[in-house]
Amino acid sequence: MPAPVRLLARIGSAYVDYLKRCRLEGLSFLQPGRFLAGSAPLETLFFPLSRARSSRAGSNGAVLARRYEAYRKLA
């Protein structure tokens, strides 16, 4: 797995952990809920990204945008 993909997987995993902690604290309507089921492969995870971040071709933002669009098509 290339370094940027590993980095995105690590951040995505941290985001899923955050969602799980929120659920343990009693929060609901956590999105995307499918991430809480534990069935999402690390290379498909996406997470919120500041609008200030670029999503130009080849950037991490572009990778996350593609992952999000692929998720939307499945959901």
More confident residue, 9 or 49: 9
| Distance of alpha carbon 26 from the chain centroid | 21
Q: Is the pLDDT of residue 7 over 80?
A: yes
Q: Quick one: pLDDT at residue 54?
A: 65
Q: Is the pLDDT of residue 38 over 80?
A: no
Q: Quick one: pLDDT at residue 2?
A: 60
Domain that holds residue 55: 3-74
**What is the count of structural domains for the chain?**
1
pLDDT digits (tens, 9 = 90+) for 54-71: 677 778 888 888 888 888
Q: Is the pLDDT of residue 1 over 60?
A: no
- Contact indicator for 45, 16 with CB cutoff of 8 Å: yes
pLDDT digits (tens, 9 = 90+) for 11-37: 889 999 999 999 999 999 998 888 888
- Residues 62 and 48: their CA atoms lie apart, in Å, by 13
